[in-house]
Structure 1
């Protein structure tokens, strides 16, 4: 029994990295580069287009990851975008779980994106029609101007200064901000009161900012093997014996190590880190590596949950366990929709990555995936949570409503007409 469990742990590590993790890394780096080039410009367009803000917010939310969506949250507090825009952005975003779907089931990602985009726009305009954002802004507690200045003067800017010294893009002594200015209330909340970035003197900072190159080499080697697996090549029978096992297991445990060093367990990107990423290509590489490690680790956790679950249900007989698992999930289809929507209420990307990975294993219906995708806010909710808890609470409640409604409709179609 112990030997079987060890085998599951190691085989899951190999498969999760080579089948999903390396493809996530490739897609994540691609979109990270696009964010580096375009995110700031897109956010500025949202500010300028009052009439189309919910549409643009939904479009920004559709971009995989949380980088673009994170920037929208402070804009609402500054009164530059409507609350409907915030809601539309959060409904459309899938956070880092989007990378898992893109890498494994791209057609399903397109379907989810279409439904989420439509739901986001409709809900966003409804929220603005009833002026919910205006009421929230009126009740929002704000610090007096003089008090903000005092807090900012006493605040620690050492890490920000250090980051700027390593960037050609820094025009001043501190990093540039998206959606707010240096020394305002949002700066205090997101860059000083909240954990914005690792201390550059810490061991974790040194490892994540020096080891990212090695990690990308491992990802590249794994990607080559992952593509070979798609063509049914035995990657463990190549010129180096057990090469796939070595890279797969090594890559997974390297991912876990990098995630721990970055102290990212539920949230993998802060507002400050998102700003750094679009200022510097090097920071994009560094934080994209950390993000890949984060997603790969949670994918591995999902693989373990599935494999150990099947093994346990079958009493040690894997084939019997698969039959039981299929029966259980089939009978719990409607419940899975509600569970998906409720899991989406949890801020951060970790639990969402697990849920989406289980979908790729065929254990939950498409409707549950869609409900989770609409309900979840990824890391984008954290800035709003740090600035105004009431607004973040209402945003979470509102995004869950279309998630459940649309999830039930799609589940009915899926069950009765074999759609999706």
Structure 2
């Protein structure tokens, strides 16, 4: 039995890196570069286009990852966007789990994106017909610190990290990093850059490791890319000119990813508002953080794959084939429950649990409708700055996004079991 468990661990490590992680890494690089070039401009467009804000927020939420969605959150408290725009952005975002879906099931990703875009717009405009946004805003203003209090607190906080990052990048016009959605020295600045977990301090082991080993991680990705493409072409990469080459590279990649994630000190969430701002200021910082983001995704995919393998083994009482048959039988009787489970998991802030949910979908354990419900309900890392600024608004936002997740998830499940939709992905 121990040998079987060991083989499952190695197989899961190989699959997490070669089947998913490599493709996630290069897709992250692509979208990271786009975000680096265009994120600030898009935020400005949202601020200027009052009538179309929920539509533009939904578009920004569709961008894989949480970078764009994170920027929208503080804009509400600056009265630059409506609360419906915040909700539309959160409904549309899939966080980092989008990268896993792009790498493994691109058709499913496109379909979810189209559907969630429509749901996001509808939900956003409905929210804006109510007094919820103005009510939240008025309560937030009533408990805001005065300018004098903020100035006093801001004067006393430590700014050496932000100044260090500016000096290292060498492209800051002032002594601090360029902020998006707020200004240096305001109350949101205190919350997002000094109270909420931000960027690692440059004198820590974690910072030194991630900022010096990232290029080795990308070299390993390049080495693994031909193997990942070969797997897509149904080639046995462990029977090439070097025996067990895929297993060796895949396992090394997953181990490197786990170490990188631990050094980054990112467990449930992998992106902060501060780091997102740094990424749009520096292409090198984008590449460094994309390595960390990829490592985060690979680690959680590995956990998801391993959880699936162990579940099959346990259900089958040590017989893997019997376990798979029993799981298929269970799925036929728990389809509706999986919608509620997907929407409930989506309530958890951060991207880690959501990545596991998508990883289980890639293994055929979850129906497409449940994946859709989770995609609508989850808010990824974008909810974290909202929690830091105003917890009541975060609570309202996550409750509201869960309602359409359940409603549309159940509707989609009916279509899935009564049409050929489910056969497209399993």
Instruction: Specify the alignment match of 2:374 in structure 1.
Output: 372
Instruction: Specify the alignment match of 2:287 in structure 1.
Output: 285
Cα distance in 1 for partners of 2:48, 2:239 equals 57
CA shift digits 1:245-292 (9 cap, x unpaired): 111000001000000000000010000000000100000001000000
Cα distance in 1 for partners of 2:338, 2:409 equals 10
Match of 1:407 among 389, 406, 409: 409
Q: Normalising to structure 2: TM-score of the pair? A: 0.97
Match of 1:173 among 175, 187, 193: 175
Instruction: Specify the alignment match of 2:242 in structure 1.
Output: 240
Shift of 1:359: 0.7
- Note the 1:22-171 alignment, pairs <5 A: 22-140=22-140, 141-171=143-173
**Residue 5 in structure 1 maps to residue 5 in structure 2:** yes
Instruction: Specify the alignment match of 2:421 in structure 1.
Output: 419
Deviation above 6 Å: which 4+ runs of structure 1? Answer: none
Higher deviation after alignment, 216-225 or 248-257: 216-225
Cα distance in 2 for partners of 1:7, 1:135 equals 56
Cα distance in 2 for partners of 1:349, 1:120 equals 19
Match of 2:384 among 367, 382, 385: 382
Gap regions ≥5 residues in structure 2: none
Cα distance in 2 for partners of 1:103, 1:379 equals 20
Cα distance in 1 for partners of 2:362, 2:238 equals 24
SS of aligned partner of 2:281: coil
Instruction: Specify the alignment match of 1:191 in structure 2.
Output: 193
Shift of 1:413: 1.2
Cα distance in 1 for partners of 2:133, 2:54 equals 13
How many matched pairs? Answer: 420
Instruction: Specify the alignment match of 2:209 in structure 1.
Output: 207
**Residue 355 in structure 1 maps to residue 357 in structure 2:** yes
CA shift digits 1:175-212 (9 cap, x unpaired): 00001100001100000111111011000000011111
**Residue 343 in structure 1 maps to residue 332 in structure 2:** no
RMSD: 0.9
Shift of 1:231: 1.5
Q: Normalising to structure 1: TM-score of the pair? A: 0.99
